[in-house]
Amino acid sequence: MKQPKSVPRVVMAMNRALEGLERRGWIRRYQGADPDVTAIAPELSRLSEHHAEIRAEVETLLEHREKLTRIQDLGGDYTDGGIHTVSWRAFLIKAGWLVEENCRLVPRTAELLRDIPGVYTAFFSILEPGQYITPHFGYYKGFLRYHLGVVVPEGGYTERCWLRVNPDLEVARARDTSAIEGGSRYHWREGEAFLFDDVLLHDASNESDEVRVILWLDVRRPLPMPLDLLNRAGLWVAARTRMAEKVRQNGVVSL
């Protein structure tokens, strides 16, 4: 996947630096989906603890899911067209800063997120039955991606809803999507969460006949100083780009 045109140069430069440091073993390498969320970002544990409240708000949203934003309409050029052709919707809560119109529709979830530092993107990802998200790469190692199973068919224990990640850094560097079969599968379960490096090759599927909903966050990656300061600066710039503003505008939902 090509680097998105609208990503600020400072973010692209920082990403190249982080990739190089990771290959040399100078910063932590994330080799798959890590369920030990609290060790990486302790504040995120509050979301699992309040899963029932979050799910209740999602169930209300699902009564109007035809009005929720289609992923392909959200507004970024940061993903390949292939993953935007599936039946996949989003309810945006934060893109750089909170989308207050939407926060009023999920007040408890928004309240929880307001108190968690380092969250730059937050939305409910709603994947319809029988949908497959093709192999793809993210674009920025300054984030870790957090997934919390909110509504998962049969609680997730039939393992029909999954994420697959190939941790090979050379695969990610070469943007070789054909290597997805070398990845490991991780299964969403209700009330459980994991973090992973979105830049690694990954795909996902809902093989069930029911809707699957996760709370999806982009969380600032723990880094040593002064890399942490540089990362914060790049993310500050990214939150103020035209792309981020377009995402916020297109993500507003009226129910």
Count of alpha carbons within 13 angstroms of residue 71, beta-carbon side: 19
Helix (H) or strand (E) holding 62, with range, is: helix 51-62
What three-state secondary structure class fits 72?
A: helix
Q: CA-to-CA distance for 7 and 169, rounded, in angstroms? A: 21
- What's CA 67's distance to the chain center, in Å? 21
| Ranges of H-type helices in 95-226 | 100-103, 107-114, 169-174
CB 18 within 8 A of CB 142: yes
DSSP string, 206-238: E-SSS-EEEEEEEEEPP--TTHHHHHHHHHHHH
Which residue from 148, 100, 151, 146 is spatially nearest to 126, judged by alpha carbons? Answer: 151
Buried b / exposed e along 209-231 (16+ C-beta atoms within 10 A): eebbbbbbbbbbbebeeebeebb
> What percent of the chain clears pLDDT 90, i.e. is strictly above it?
76
Alpha-carbon gap, residue 28 to 158, rounded angstroms: 32
Domains of the chain: 9-250 (2.60.120.330)
Cβ-proximal residues to 229 (8 Å cutoff; 6+ apart), any chain? none
Helices (H), 63-181: 100-103, 107-114, 169-174
**pTM confidence score:** 0.93
Tell me: the pLDDT tens digits for 86-109?
Answer: 789 999 999 999 999 999 999 999
Return the closest-CA partner of residue 116 out of 94, 90, 149, 140: 94
Per-residue pLDDT of the chain in tens (255 residues, 90 and over written 9)? 344 555 677 778 888 899 999 999 999 999 999 999 988 889 999 999 999 999 999 999 999 999 999 998 886 554 444 454 578 999 999 999 999 999 999 999 999 999 899 999 999 999 999 999 999 998 899 999 999 999 999 998 999 999 999 999 999 989 999 999 999 999 999 999 999 999 999 999 999 999 999 999 999 999 999 999 999 998 998 898 888 899 999 999 998
Helix (H) or strand (E) holding 250: helix 242-250
Instruction: Give dist(CA 2, CA 137) in Å, integer.
Output: 9
